[in-house]
A and B are shown apart, each in its own frame.
Chain A
Amino acid sequence: MDKWKKTLSDEVSPEFESRVLGNVRPLLKENAELFAKDSGRKVPWLRWQLFALPGTAVAVLVALAVLRLSTTTEPPAPELAVQLSPEFELAMDFAMFKDLPEIENLDLLQKLGDPETWPNQAPRKTKKAPKS
């Protein structure tokens, strides 16, 4: 039978070969795309987990860090060691306002009134009368 088969074969021309290759090229491309799609579907669940696990861990750590930063309260400011005198505080108030050009305007300064009467102003300490 092998000898029979030999009589069946015929050589193809190079032109025919290139014609066939040109014809099947789009089909091969189609196969490649389908194969890639199939391979994507067949990735085992565990393999996805292996990729996802480090990413998830990092995301959780970052989220915890952000949460911690947002809830942390600022440390209380240390108490002033020196008790400022009312006069010094008053002088400081004026010195601060003096930096602003509007403050130089006398009218505005008058409108602002006496710093003693400004709201949220800590009550002035009164000097104790010297002991007689």
Chain B
Amino acid sequence: MMGSLSDDELMTLVKQGSEPAFTILFKRHSSAVFGLCMRFFSGNRSRSEDVSQEVWAKVVRYARTYEPNSKFKAWLLQVTRNSALREIEKNQVVYQMTHEDDVDIADGFDLEESIAENHREAEVKSAIDQLPEAQRAALVLWMSGTVSYEEIAVELKASVSGVKSLLFRAKQALVKRLREE
């Protein structure tokens, strides 16, 4: 019965302390949260589980201040991104960009389509996990939702052109790896 409720309705119940409501939310979105963490941490399951657990604890803590606006998943992924980036920051990974990295993304670049059609999901994940950390972080942020280049630049402490460059090179590397396999 509760399974038919929307995310926002479930969050209202979580605010009131409902464990069944939380369990449904968790089952709905745990794969997305965990998967995003896995990409951030190169498939490191242990680190991904730790950060995912932290994310779900935040969901319960923030439930009281959460404003229902039908964008629960976007909000959840934002919390996940921030938690993952904080975790990466703890390890003092700095995304310093050089002027040589400033490369614009070519128009008509349809990596998404080619990956989705021609390759298996596991191969794509593996290829993402093998990317250099800065490229991977930029790519995962971009993949995880409606995040602008400006927002990614702020998160990664880089310039917008630097972010574009990172994304361009990340996609190029992905295509190369996937073609090789």
Contacts and interface: CB of A to CB of B under 8 A. Distances in A.
Chains A and B are bound partners: yes
A33 B113 CA distance: 49
Interface residues of A, number: 28
Interface string A45-76: 00000000000000000000000000000000
Contacts of A9: 31-32, 34-35
A16 B48 CA distance: 11
A22 to B, nearest CB: 10
- Interface residues of B: mostly helix, strand, loop or mixed? helix
B166 to A, nearest CB: 16
Nearest to B119: A7
Given A8-B36, A8-B39, A28 B18 contact: yes
Given A3-B116, A31-B64, A32-B17, A16 B49 contact: yes
A12 B52 contact: yes
A4 B18 contact: no
Interface in B1-28: 14-19, 22-23, 26-27
A33 B17 contact: yes
A23 B168 CA distance: 40
B17 A20 contact: no
A8 B30 contact: no
Contacts of A24: 22, 56-57, 59-60
Interface string B115-149: 11000010011001000000000001001110000
A25 B115 contact: no
B112 interface: yes
Interface string A3-40: 11111111110001101110111011111111100000
B39 A28 contact: no
B22 to A, nearest CB: 6
B36 A35 contact: no
Given A5-B143, A6-B121, A12 B30 contact: yes
Nearest to B21: A28
A77 interface: no
Nearest to A29: B17
Nearest to A10: B35
B32 A5 contact: yes
A99 to B, nearest CB: 76
B61 A17 contact: no
B115 A7 contact: yes
Contacts of A3: 112-113, 115-116
11 contacts: A5-B143, A10-B38, A10-B125, A11-B34, A12-B52, A21-B19, A24-B59, A25-B19, A27-B60, A31-B63, A35-B16
- 3 A-B pairs with least C-beta separation: A32-B17, A10-B35, A9-B35
Interface of B: 14-19, 22-23, 26-27, 30-32, 34-36, 38-39, 48-49, 52-53, 56-57, 59-61, 63-64, 112-113, 115-116, 121, 124-125, 128, 140, 143-145
